[in-house]
């Protein structure tokens, strides 16, 4: 369902890799229909194209449906009806999974079919399956992820080639990485849904993405990138889930400064990287192409194969509808990088933030510094006291 960037990729993967996929599942898989409102003259998909969802629903030969339409409606209704009709559904639709994941997983279970969503996070990177099956012996205490290919592509281009924000956004759109409305990428909304999905799987409860504090990359300037390079670090848009001793759970999306030796520092371009910390296994890093036609399609197609292998059997996914209570980020402690105008007085800076470490870049006439470790609430108070702050970025 859906013959856009990912949908056409899924079709292509099944055509190109037909022999090998059929061999792996031990039977012939056939694409029975492709649902889309548009026509595609000259495209081989015309042989199987339908504009009517009921064709799919009412055909008993259709056992597995790939929902790659995106958006909540009608994807939600179509998915529900397919599952209730005893058809498994595989999806790349992170909006739908973040909003209705727990419910659709339950419906799939009730009908002994599967709702699989590997492609919804990290494009082609296997991350959902490892969280659900390989890392089950661990308590997951942290997930930090570069979860949006578009913004990572943009930040990489800005830092490596000194290009400006608007030009790099246009490039990412031209390459088919960006969402239909690129605010979803640059404002962090896409990463927010993805970290909500991962956090839900990590703690087996429902993490409501609407409650996650989310900040995008729209305020990041080339100057920030240049300052940060001075102290051997880079800026990344991170989705972070963290459980502290004592049980406080923090989830956020925001630009973060990480040092060049952090495992995610060298995740560049459209690649995503996800660092998972378990209480027994320690750190595990997942890396691969986080956006784009074929990588995402590969994950959808792999889910289809999994559904065939589990015909008549529901794969247990631990994601209960019970809501997880998130802790107030104001209590979280960390350092901050701050930029203020050149005329900011050193005394006023120290009075507000205490001892700070100044950073300077030749040719930029500003006061920039790194604070000591402080609670986010204390930082916000200090920032107000200090007066005009041009930008501030969290250090992770």
Position among 33, 177, 250, 287 found at the interface with ligand HSE (CB under 6 A): 177
Which of 150, 206, 214, 233: binder of ligand HSE (CB under 6 A)? 150
Q: Report the half-sphere exposure of 129 (CA within 13 A, side-chain side).
A: 14
Measured distance CA(383)–CA(214) in Å, rounded:
19
By the rule CB under 6 A, 303 interacts with ligand HSE: no
Site for ligand HSE in 276-295 (CB under 6 A): 290-291
Check binding of 179 to ligand HSE (CB under 6 A): yes
Q: What minimum distance in Å lies between the beta carbon of 196 and ligand HSE?
A: 13
> In this chain, which of 13, 82, 178, 264 binds ligand HSE, going by CB under 6 A?
178
- Write down the least CB distance from residue 235 to ligand HSE, Å: 17
Q: Tokens for 156, please give them.
A: 């990489």
The answer to whether 190 contacts ligand HSE (rule: CB under 6 A) is: yes
Active site (catalytic) residues? 194
Which of 148, 156, 214, 233 contacts ligand HSE by CB under 6 A?
148
Phi, psi of 330 (to 5 degrees): -55, -25
CB-based contacts of 256: which residues, under 8 Å, 6+ apart?
Answer: 235, 236, 237, 238, 240, 393, 394, 395, 396
Find the shortest distance in angstroms from Cβ 273 to ligand HSE: 12
Q: How many beta carbons lie within 10 A of that of residue 80, not counting itself?
A: 17
Q: Please report whether residue 156 would count as binding ligand HSE according to CB under 6 A.
A: no
As measured in angstroms, the least distance from the Cβ of 187 to ligand HSE is: 12
Q: Tokens at residue 203, please?
A: 């703690």
Distance of CA 357 to the CA centre of its chain: 33
Residue 338's SS3 state is strand
**Beta carbon nearer to ligand HSE, 100 or 292:** 292
How many angstroms separate the CA atoms of 117 and 183, rounded? 23
- Nearest-CB residue for ligand HSE: 150
Per DSSP, helices labelled H in the chain are 5-16, 18-25, 53-57, 75-84, 94-110, 128-129, 149-161, 165-174, 183-186, 189-203, 222-230, 293-309, 346-353, 376-386
The residue count for binding ligand HSE (CB under 6 A) is 11
Q: Convert residues 328-367 into a mask of x (bound to ligand HSE by CB under 6 A) and - (unbound).
A: ----------------------------------------
User: Segment contacting ligand HSE (CB under 6 A): 76-84, 143-151, 208-216, 368-376?
Assistant: 143-151
Binding flags for ligand HSE, 120-139, as an x/- string (CB under 6 A): ---x----------------
Q: CB-based burial of residue 180 (10 Å sphere; 0-12 exposed, 13-18 middle, 19+ buried)?
A: exposed
Q: What angle do CA 340, 148, 223 make, to 5 degrees?
A: 20
Task: State the residues that interact with ligand HSE by CB under 6 A.
Answer: 123, 148-150, 177-179, 185, 190, 290-291
């Amino acid at each position: 369902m859906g013959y856009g960037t990912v949908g056409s990729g899924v079709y292509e993967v099944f055509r190109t890799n037909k022999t090998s996929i059929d061999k792996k599942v031990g039977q012939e898989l056939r694409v029975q229909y492709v649902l889309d409102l548009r026509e595609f003259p000259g495209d081989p998909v015309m042989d199987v194209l339908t504009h009517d969802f009921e064709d799919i629903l009412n055909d008993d030969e259709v056992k597995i449906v790939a929902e790659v339409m995106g958006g909540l409606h009608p994807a939600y209704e179509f998915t529900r009806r397919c599952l209730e009709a005893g058809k498994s559904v595989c999806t790349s639709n992170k909006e739908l999974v973040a909003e209705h994941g727990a419910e659709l997983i339950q419906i799939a279970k009730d009908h002994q079919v599967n709702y699989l969503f590997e492609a919804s996070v990290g494009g082609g990177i296997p991350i959902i399956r490892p969280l659900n099956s390989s890392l089950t012996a661990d308590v997951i205490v942290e997930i930090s992820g570069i979860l949006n290919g578009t913004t990572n592509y943009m930040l990489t281009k800005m830092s490596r080639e000194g290009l400006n924000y608007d030009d790099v956004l246009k490039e990412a759109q031209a390459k088919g990485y960006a969402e239909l409305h690129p605010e979803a990428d640059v404002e962090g909304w896409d990463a927010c849904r993805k970290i909500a999905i991962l956090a839900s799987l990590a703690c087996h409860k429902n993490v409501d993405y609407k409650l996650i504090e989310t900040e995008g990359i729209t305020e990041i300037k080339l100057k920030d990138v240049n300052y940060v390079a001075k102290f051997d670090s880079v800026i990344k848009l991170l989705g972070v889930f963290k459980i502290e001793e004592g049980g406080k759970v923090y989830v956020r999306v925001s630009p973060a400064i990480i040092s060049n030796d952090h495992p995610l520092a060298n995740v560049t371009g459209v690649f995503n990287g996800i660092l998972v910390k378990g209480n027994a296994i320690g750190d595990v890093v997942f890396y691969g192409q986080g956006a784009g036609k074929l990588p995402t399609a590969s994950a959808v197609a792999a889910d289809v194969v999994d559904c065939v292998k589990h015909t008549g059997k529901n794969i247990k996914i631990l994601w209960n509808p019970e809501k997880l209570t998130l802790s107030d980020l104001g209590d979280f402690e960390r350092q901050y990088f701050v930029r203020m105008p050149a005329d900011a007085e050193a005394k006023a800076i120290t009075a507000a933030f205490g001892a700070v470490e100044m950073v300077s870049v030749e040719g930029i006439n500003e006061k920039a510094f790194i604070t000591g470790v402080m609670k986010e609430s204390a930082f916000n108070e200090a920032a107000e006291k200090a007066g005009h702050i041009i930008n501030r970025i969290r250090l992770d």
